[in-house]
Structure 1
Amino acid sequence: MFLGRKEELSELENLYRMKKSSLIVLYGRRRIGKSSLIHEFCKNKHSHTFEGLEGEKTPAQIKHFCESLKEQLSDPMLHDTKFSTWHAVFAYITLKVSENKKIILFFDEFQWLAAGQSKLVSLIKYFWDNEWKKKNVMLILCGSIASFMINKVIKSKALYGRINFEIHLKGLKSFEAFEMLRKKRSIDETMRYLLTLGSVPKYLEEIDLSKSFEQNIERLCFNSKGIMVREFDRIFYNQFKEAKNYLAIIKYIKDKIRSKKEISENVKIKSGGGLKLYLDNLEIAGFVKSYIPFKYQKNSKLKKYRLSDNYLSFYFEYIEPNLESIVDYEIKGIYQARIKSSMNIWLGFSFERFCLTNANIISRIMGFESQVTGISPYFERKNERFQIDLIYTRSDKVITICEIKFQVNEISTKVIPEVERKCKLIKIPKGFTIEKALISRFGPDNSLRDADYFHHYVSVNDIFDEKYYT
């Protein structure tokens, strides 16, 4: 079932309707729905799809590409012709392209087609400039290794100024995830899936709508045949060549926000260009997010990093420590026996991570999205215990301090002293006003609302309201 992606489909349709060629680059992590998006877009259109083979060298890529050509084109010539170079393949494709009819060429898993090198990008530049650009071609280059797609394709000198549209495809919006579950599970249960598995369409497709959250997590994550048990290996080792160093960084920041200096000292990688490259690639891949401390500039050396992927966090916290029991001994009931008792606390931390990732939507709900100039957790070097979950700096001289709670009940007035203490400790610029916001699972109870303490309230129901996404 395909749903969502309305903005991306609309932009692609606009480009398709134009009577000229266009070059699109699409990237995003595995399972995020890149191929599904393009297949949906290509329905009832003249298109050809070619997919790269993971780990294969150029000759094997060309051979597979040509097999796809034979399947999609009824040309007897292809049965008697063997292409040995990409130049010959593209020259043949050029002969089949008509100036009078729009054609979509979709190169999926492009980083594998290119065998991890930039030579194919340069050749595409040649054919684009000299042939395809003049022939009403819509060329879509799609890849799951973000660092390659950004550094070797988008930022390449060969394609500079030629790309018409870039799509960094991310997870589904909250309300789309609810629709994907066909509204058969509650909003609260859907949120728990997002906090545990993330908003990756493929993962949500695996949910059995006749079973509860606990039953599904047991089946998907703590069963030897569960899809999420080995998913870490598929998405992580596919993304990085030097996986050992990336894994060391991820494991060090999985529980706590860390500075580059702290990471360097722990994983024994110099904090210069080497570590920066690792951190940049992790951030490009969507596994890690960096934050600038409140009141500091973007190039601040105080920048800190934290794990941003909910599934990876759940994997390291619960799946990896139990892998032997899950895979080797096939022990049943691990979730109930070992996980459930601590799950609510872990969901609280995951909800904080979710709110930081969705901070723009939350500011829209509170009505000041256009005034936001900075988004970050608040932390201090001298006092690591003092932290504010989320803080907005605004152009209208307001600092909005957010308290984030994922409790099973409505929030009572007991939260007020805790927030008051934080407000007194934070140092704000002169002339600024502090506003206080509560972001929670079920909102405030009557006593807290009557206390008129917070300026803003955001509940999970608000985050799932479609009107804030249009």
Structure 2
Amino acid sequence: MFVGRKQELDSLEQCFRDKRAKIVTVYGRRRIGKSYLIEHFVRGKKCLRFEGLESQKTPTQIKYFVHDLAKQLGDDVLAHAEFDHWENVFEYLTDFMSHTNEKWIIFFDEFQWLAANQGRLVSLLKKYWDQSWSKQKVLIILCGSVSSYMVKNVIKSKAMYGRIDLEICLTQLSPREAFLLAKSKRSAYEIFRYLLLIGAVPKYLTLIDARYSLEQNINKLCFTKNGYFVGEYEKIFYSQFRDYRTYEQIVGFLQDRPRSIKEISEHLKIPSGGGLLGYLNNLEKALFVTCYTSYEKGYESKNKRYKLTDEFLCLYFKFIKPNLKIIKASSNKTLFSLLVKNKWNPWLGFAFENFCLKNAIILAEKMGFADQVINYGPYFKQGDERFQIDLLFIRADKTITLCELKYHDEQISTVVIKEVEKKCALISIPRGYTLEKALISQCGPDEHLARAEYFHHFVSVEDWFS
């Protein structure tokens, strides 16, 4: 079942309909649905698709590329031909393009593997684009996981500068799209908890077995030795990042709380300049890490904090990694209950805060002021790690919206008012601004809190999925 991605599909369709040749790059974390998006887009269109092979060198990549090309074109002569270099392959493609009157899509999937993580294929692509392909009826799609290779050699490549017409960084589904994908499986509240735990990653949502409860599914996927998520962490880092140990060290350091560049630099003993920023930027592009500044500061503020926000990675570091040895060694089918159940509900509160921060703009849409948002994020004071407000919006209409995030299985009572008043007294409100208050919770306010008219906005689970 395909849901969402309307904006991406519209942009791709616009490129395809253009009479000029175009180059598109599509990238994102593993399991996010990049290939599935392009497969959906190319239906009914003339398309040649080629997929790179993990950990294979250039001769093997060329061999299978030519095999796939011959199969798709039905060319028996090509099937028995031997190509030693990418130039031979590109010459064949050039000749093919020059003899067709129809527009074709050439889809390079897992491009970083096709290139064997070297820059030569990109240089050749530039050469053939400049000399011939840019004058043909063709749409080139370069697709790959966010990696140091894709960022350096494709997205930010000097060779490709000015030649990429559309860049798509594929993110998770919206909460509503995730609900549409999974609603036939379980209740809205249970699906919401899945989003807190594993995120709105399409592949992950397909793993939900509707025959079992959330606890049963999580036990099977995370706490059995052959569980899908037990080995997922290694697949994400080892195949996605060449210098994976440094990336591991960074996300491991960010697992418990947001950190400044200075803190990360001192912990890893890496200078806080371009090298460390390169790692952090790649983690941001993969949507594993998010950078926040306090609401009244600009993005370039030295008051930045980096936070681990990928739901699966948060789950992994909290519960799977500390128990990995026993998970891999045990045949016990109830490890979830034995190892983590008592710690589960408090941690869901943390996961809920993370979910709200990641989906802050959607929250603003639900509350009716998304078009007014100038900045948003946690509110924290430099030098005072104890004081933090989970989420504030600063708006162009001279309004600041303070969001109180509460994860409870029951409706929220008027007790919360006293807590919020304390926070309101400790933040600085610019002159001429109005302070609004919003309650973001699982089950909404109880009758007494709703009647108190203290909060300007309420958002609950039903609102996320509406």
Q: 1:294, 1:446 → 2: CA distance?
A: 32
Q: 2:20, 2:147 → 1: CA distance?
A: 28
Name the structure 1 match of 2:181. 180
The 3-state SS of whatever aligns with 1:229 is: helix
The 3-state SS of whatever aligns with 1:230 is: helix
Name the structure 1 match of 2:364. 363
Structure 1 stretch displaced more, 437-446 or 138-147: 138-147
Structure 1 stretch displaced more, 267-276 or 106-115: 267-276
The 3-state SS of whatever aligns with 2:15 is: helix
- Number of residue pairs the alignment of both structures matches: 465
Question: Is the CA contact (8 Å cut-off) linking 1:288 and 1:306 kept in structure 2?
Answer: yes
Give structure 1 stretches of 5+ with no counterpart.
466-470
**Taking every aligned residue pair, what percent have the same amino acid on both sides?**
52
Offset from partner CA, 1:253-307 (integer Å, 9 cap, x none): 1011111111222222222222222212211221111111232232211111110
Structure 1 stretch displaced more, 237-246 or 398-407: 237-246
Q: 1:275, 1:124 → 2: CA distance?
A: 30
Name the structure 2 match of 1:375. 376
Alignment of 1:318-329 (within 5 A): 318-329=319-330
Letter in 2 for 1:221: C
Name the structure 2 match of 1:237. 238
Name the structure 2 match of 1:30. 30
Alignment of 1:380-459 (within 5 A): 380-459=381-460
Alignment of 1:61-460 (within 5 A): 61-97=61-97, 98-460=99-461
Q: What is the CA-CA distance between 1:99 and the residue it aligns to?
A: 4.3
Offset from partner CA, 1:181-234 (integer Å, 9 cap, x none): 243311111111111111111111111011111111111111111111110000
Structure 1 stretch displaced more, 346-355 or 5-14: 5-14
Name the structure 2 match of 1:58. 58
Structure 1 stretch displaced more, 375-384 or 146-155: 146-155
Name the structure 2 match of 1:468. none
Q: 1:272, 1:159 → 2: CA distance?
A: 25
Letter in 2 for 1:95: D
Q: 1:141, 1:250 → 2: CA distance?
A: 28
Q: 2:403, 2:90 → 1: CA distance?
A: 55
Q: What is the CA-CA distance between 1:154 and the residue it aligns to?
A: 2.5
Give structure 2 stretches of 5+ with no counterpart.
none
Name the structure 1 match of 2:4. 4
Q: 1:245, 1:16 → 2: CA distance?
A: 39
Q: What is the CA-CA distance between 1:77 and the residue it aligns to?
A: 2.3
Q: 1:330, 1:145 → 2: CA distance?
A: 35
Q: 2:275, 2:154 → 1: CA distance?
A: 21
Change (3 A) 1:396 1:182: closer
Offset from partner CA, 1:114-150 (integer Å, 9 cap, x none): 1212221121112122222222111110011344333
Q: What is the CA-CA distance between 1:10 and the residue it aligns to?
A: 2.2
Question: Is the CA contact (8 Å cut-off) linking 1:102 and 1:137 kept in structure 2?
Answer: yes
The 3-state SS of whatever aligns with 1:388 is: strand
Q: 1:346, 1:230 → 2: CA distance?
A: 22
Change (3 A) 1:382 1:18: closer
Offset from partner CA, 1:69-117 (integer Å, 9 cap, x none): 1221222321342111111101101222244111111000001111212
Q: 2:146, 2:264 → 1: CA distance?
A: 24
Q: 1:455, 1:119 → 2: CA distance?
A: 57
Offset from partner CA, 1:45-79 (integer Å, 9 cap, x none): 21111011112222221112112112212223213
Cα RMSD (Å): 1.4
Letter in 1 for 2:222: C
Q: TM-score, normalised by structure 2?
A: 0.97
Q: 1:27, 1:445 → 2: CA distance?
A: 44
Letter in 1 for 2:196: L
The 3-state SS of whatever aligns with 1:166 is: strand
Q: 2:68, 2:100 → 1: CA distance?
A: 23
Structure 1 stretch displaced more, 396-405 or 123-132: 123-132
Question: Is the CA contact (8 Å cut-off) linking 1:22 and 1:163 kept in structure 2?
Answer: yes
The 3-state SS of whatever aligns with 2:354 is: helix
Q: 1:157, 1:108 → 2: CA distance?
A: 21
Question: Is the CA contact (8 Å cut-off) linking 1:221 and 1:228 kept in structure 2?
Answer: yes
Q: 2:277, 2:163 → 1: CA distance?
A: 29
Question: Is the CA contact (8 Å cut-off) linking 2:391 and 2:402 kept in structure 1?
Answer: yes
Question: Is the CA contact (8 Å cut-off) linking 2:21 and 2:133 kept in structure 1?
Answer: yes
Runs of 4+ in 1 over 4 A off after TM superposition: none
Q: What is the CA-CA distance between 1:325 and the residue it aligns to?
A: 1.4
Question: Is the CA contact (8 Å cut-off) linking 2:254 and 2:308 kept in structure 1?
Answer: yes
Q: What is the CA-CA distance between 1:383 and the residue it aligns to?
A: 2.3
Q: What is the CA-CA distance between 1:382 and the residue it aligns to?
A: 3.0
Q: 1:38, 1:18 → 2: CA distance?
A: 17
The 3-state SS of whatever aligns with 1:392 is: strand
Q: What is the CA-CA distance between 1:434 and the residue it aligns to?
A: 0.9
